[in-house]
Amino acid sequence: MTIELSVEFFPPQTPEGAEKLRATWAKLAPLKPAFFSVTFGAGGSTQDRTYDTVEEIRAAGLPAAPHLSCIGSTKTRVREILERYRAVGIHRIVALRGDLPSGMAEPGELRHANELVEFIRAETGDWFHIEVAAYPEYHPQAKSPKDDLLNFKRKADAGANAAITQFLFNADAYEHFVAEARAAGVTIPIIPGIMPIASFSKLSRFADTCGAEIPRWMRKQFESFGDDAASIRAYGLDVVTSLCERLIKAGAPGLHFYTLNQAGLTTEIVQRLGI
């Protein structure tokens, strides 16, 4: 079985950050990821920086995939962005609803990710391979597990090619979600999101924001290390590698690494996995 790797960056805000990111993708390129995805800010607020980063990755001969949000935007604006990416030969997009920026009252013409997927298909046909988000531990704003699953199915039915999950540390949650999705008639690949751990305090903040569960046993072990960065790194590598091994054994078609613009941990995990 072939395991497809992909990695995610956020667009740098400074020239120094841009230089560091160039070094990062150069180090990750030997892993031969299927694509390097690049995120955006709330309401697509960093979409220009996203474009610049994607174009630079593409110009380096590497497969790039911009994230595209629809919340707070217009069909005209989304159409312009799609055409901009088509013009430079980008064929993959991660289509997301996104978050409404602070102070913005109107959600825009496209209110949900399935509407964005439908719009991309209507405007561009099969030009783009479309990735969407999945939430094995449920979206923080979901009314119920059933509603969350139906929202996911709508994105698949709208024309998504594959899905990437929120990062998780509970393999059971992934297996359960995939089983539920298949029972609901969703057939697209569902790729688990992997978060390498360099800082437990930073991980905790991310998890609180997006609703990802950090298992109690794992949290307690990390807390016991205090400020011992070396122990946190070593334990994090062991935990995440074991998680990846179980996910692959469970049939995960790929692994999507949330790199936080760093190469070291992702590279070591992939080398440990031998893929």
Please list the active-site residues. Answer: 8
Q: DSSP string covering the chain, please?
A: -PPEEEEEE---SSHHHHHHHHHHHHHHGGG--SEEEE---GGGTTHHHHHHHHHHHHHTT--EEEEEE-TTB-HHHHHHHHHHHHHTT--EEEEE---PPTT----BS--SHHHHHHHHHHHHTTSSEEEEEE-TT--TT-SSHHHHHHHHHHHHHTT--EEEEEE-S-HHHHHHHHHHHHHTT--S-EEEEE---S-HHHHHHHHHHHT----HHHHHHHHHTTT-HHHHHHHHHHHHHHHHHHHHHTT--EEEEE-TT--HHHHHHHHHHT-
